[in-house]
Amino acid sequence: MTHAPRTVDAAAFREAMARFASGVTVVTARSARDGRLAGFTASAFSSLSLDPPLVLVCLDRRADSYRVFSEAEAMAVSVLAHGQHDLALHFASKGIDKFSGRALERGEATGLPLIPGALAHIECAMHDRLEGGDHVILVGRVLRAAVGEGEPLVHYNRAFGRFVRG
Ligand SMILES: Cc1cc2nc3c(=O)[nH]c(=O)nc-3n(C[C@H](O)[C@H](O)[C@H](O)COP(=O)(O)O)c2cc1C
């Protein structure tokens, strides 16, 4: 029996993906062309390879950050801790200066902004940019990884929450 190709209903796809609980990250980069900084909140973050050490982040091509990430030679990921959902919303906002008035750390490996108090910092060299439909898949080769203390910020069904063991 052959199956005719079918397309999922967009709302059903979104609803199903909203049932996937994830951590929340803030990813930053600097344009190698004009030095401009960009950063955005991302839950589409994953480890990709151990050897070489690679991670990936998916970025919407319509994001204002897209140009900077297309021109960047490095990116820095902060894994947010519970209690940092205000930062998640800040870096998900459009049309604001995301960096002024924020006490941010500078990454030792890349010099890029990192979120103080985050659960983990992962600094990367930009390794590849892959086509992913209306997103670009940013592949980073990990240069430095460091962990902090605390509980993770969890995103599930369009809401922030906490991790419960058990
Ligand atoms: C919890 C959460 C997770 C998000 N995950 C992603 C993601 O993985 N990829 C992405 O492109 N946008 C994601 N977004 C949306 C971006 O953060 C948002 O579009 C941001 O405004 C982009 O900023 P810009 O237009 O200034 O670049 C997420 C937003 C939230 C609140």
Q: Tell me if 42 CB under 6 Å of ligand 1.
A: yes
CA distance 41 to 27: 6
Task: Please indicate whether residue 94, judged by its CB atom, sits closer than 6 Å to ligand 1.
Answer: yes
Helix/strand/coil percent split, the chain, to 5: 10, 45, 45
What 8-state DSSP symbol labels residue 164? -
Collapsing DSSP to helix, strand or coil, 160 comes out as strand
Joined tokens for residue 161: 């929450």
**Pocket flag, ligand 1, residue 25 (CB < 6 Å):** no
Residues 67/129, Cβ–Cβ less than 8 Å: no
Output DSSP code: residue 80: P
Asked if residue 43 has its Cβ within 6 Å of ligand 1, the reply is yes
Q: How many A from CA of 89 to the centre of ligand 1?
A: 9
- Locate the ligand 1 atom nearest the alpha carbon of residue 60 and give its number: 11
- Enter the tokens of residue 128: 């590849």
Domains in the chain, start-ordered, CATH in brackets?
A: 23-44+64-125+145-156 (2.30.110.10)
pLDDT of amino acid 6: 85
Q: How far is the CA of 98 from the centre of ligand 1 (A)?
A: 13
Q: What's the token pair of residue 144?
A: 């430095």
CA of 92 from ligand 1 middle (Å) equals 5
Give the global pTM: 0.96
Tokens of 100: 């002024």
CA of 60 to the centre of ligand 1 (A): 8
Per run of 10 residues, the mean pLDDT along the chain (length 166 residues) is 80 98 98 98 98 98 98 98 97 96 95 98 98 98 97 98 96
